[in-house]
């Protein structure tokens, strides 16, 4: 679920660059914002952060630079699977909300500025969720959705907001379980998928990000082959994006496209090994490489990866950041039973 949130949050970061942003001021630095987008997609966080800081200096009363600085701080932590309570993150997101609310009081806030305010609440909701502040996470998520819906009521062609609203409707319905059957939560999965498909088709500058979110939705809905094709298309367009590579690896795995999954996770493994801050991603990558090697009949390689994975364990507990169900399933793979798995 961590990666699902990560995709939705990055979508919301990048979606804030539509025609309405440019309409909010003739001097808005369009090229700078585009550079920030490319930096986020390709994981160049330091460069993107420097550009966002420039926006703050040039437009101190605008929410955009503050939003990107906060979003990039959180993106760094999510990328390394090491999110923590960060006072500067909260400060930037609150600055976004304060600036938009000031414009609302003056009656001059644009739909896109409302979009940034709603997205700031989404980011804070995610942070609360990771810190196990469940009630705050729920409240902030609901508030963010309501603000996005208000923006769409003012501008029905704000396709980037359809993306956030659609994703929320889908995941709320998909994870509701028995509450949906008791009619406590309306089933809006298909409506959510339709809204995100509209964003894929009509969003001005971020159709790839909408497509990426759709990949995760389709995987969870049990349509992995459709998801894999969409993920492959995104990676073809942005071959240097680690963000899209992660999605492609997971979609290939879900679709049982073992050759593609093995290749993608090998690329990720090379990056993770070379960057100590990625240590929390090691168990997931090793587990997936082990499974791919087993499925491809590379038994010796599967056992080698599994031995590396076992070094991450303590006693009988699964490795950190690896679900217990996946760990137990892996330990009982036929290709591992014998000398390695106990």
Residues 63 and 198 in one domain: yes
CATH number for position 244: 1.25.40.10
Of 256, 285, 302, which residue constitutes the final position of a domain? 256
The two tokens of residue 136 are: 């705050």
Q: Which is more confident, 82 or 276? A: 276
Give 137-192 pLDDT, tens digit per residue.
Answer: 889 989 999 999 999 999 999 888 898 899 899 988 887 664 454 456 788 999 99
Domain boundary among 256, 278, 309: 256
Among 237, 256, 275, residue at a domain's last position:
256
Task: Quote the number of domains for the chain.
Answer: 2
Summarised one tens digit per residue, pLDDT across range 46-105 is 999 999 999 999 989 889 899 999 989 988 888 877 777 889 999 999 999 999 999 999
Q: Which domain holds residue 209?
A: 2-256
Both 181 and 285 in one domain: the answer is no
Q: pLDDT tens digits, residue range 30-48?
A: 778 778 878 888 889 999 9
Same-domain status, 153 and 195: yes
Same domain for 319 and 231: no
Q: What is the pLDDT of residue 341?
A: 43
If 0-12 CB within 10 Å is exposed, 13-18 middle and 19+ buried, where does residue 263 land?
Answer: middle
CA–CA dist 125, 316 (Å, integer) = 34
Let me know whether 38 and 83 are in one domain: yes
DSSP 236-268: HH-TT-HHHHHHHHHHHHHTT-HHHHHHHHHHH
Q: Are residues 158 and 173 in the same domain?
A: yes
Residues 163 and 182 in one domain: yes
Better-scored residue on pLDDT, 244 or 85 = 244
pLDDT digits (tens, 9 = 90+) for 196-211: 999 999 987 568 888 9
DSSP 218-238: HHHTT-HHHHHHHHHHHHHH-
Q: What share of the chain in percent tops pLDDT 90?
A: 57
Q: Are 235 and 263 in contact (CB under 8 A)?
A: no
Assess whether 19 and 162 both reside in one domain: yes
């Amino acid at each position: 679920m961590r990666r699902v949130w990560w995709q939705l949050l990055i979508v919301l970061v990048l979606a804030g660059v539509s025609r309405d942003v440019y309409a909010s001021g003739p001097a808005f630095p369009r090229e700078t914002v585009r550079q920030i987008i490319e930096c986020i997609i390709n994981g160049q966080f330091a460069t993107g952060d420097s550009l966002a800081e420039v926006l703050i200096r040039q437009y101190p009363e605008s929410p955009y630079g503050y939003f990107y600085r906060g979003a990039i701080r959180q993106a760094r932590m999510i990328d390394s699977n090491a999110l923590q309570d960060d006072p500067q993150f909260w400060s930037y997101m609150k600055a976004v909300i304060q600036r938009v609310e000031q414009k609302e009081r003056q009656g001059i806030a644009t739909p896109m500025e409302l979009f940034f305010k709603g997205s700031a609440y989404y980011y804070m909701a995610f942070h609360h969720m990771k810190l196990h502040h469940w009630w705050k996470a729920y409240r902030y998520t609901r508030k963010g959705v309501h603000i996005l819906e208000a923006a769409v009521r003012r501008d029905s062609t704000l396709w980037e907001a359809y993306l956030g609203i659609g994703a929320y409707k889908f995941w709320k319905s998909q994870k509701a379980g028995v509450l949906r059957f008791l009619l406590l939560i309306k089933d809006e999965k298909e409506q959510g998928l339709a809204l995100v498909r509209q964003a894929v088709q009509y969003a001005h500058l971020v159709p790839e990000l909408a497509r990426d979110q759709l990949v995760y939705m389709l995987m969870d809905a049990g349509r992995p082959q459709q998801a894999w094709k969409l993920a492959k298309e995104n990676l073809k367009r942005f071959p240097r994006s680690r963000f899209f590579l992660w999605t492609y690896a997971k979609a290939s795995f879900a679709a049982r496209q073992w050759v593609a999954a093995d290749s993608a996770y090998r690329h990720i493994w090379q990056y993770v090994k070379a960057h100590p801050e990625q240590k929390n991603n090691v168990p997931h990558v090793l587990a997936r490489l082990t499974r791919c090697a087993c499925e491809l009949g590379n038994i010796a390689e599967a056992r080698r990866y599994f031995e590396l994975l076992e070094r991450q364990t303590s006693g009988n507990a699964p490795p950190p950041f690896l679900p217990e169900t996946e760990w137990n399933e892996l330990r009982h793979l036929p290709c591992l039973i014998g000398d390695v798995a106990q």
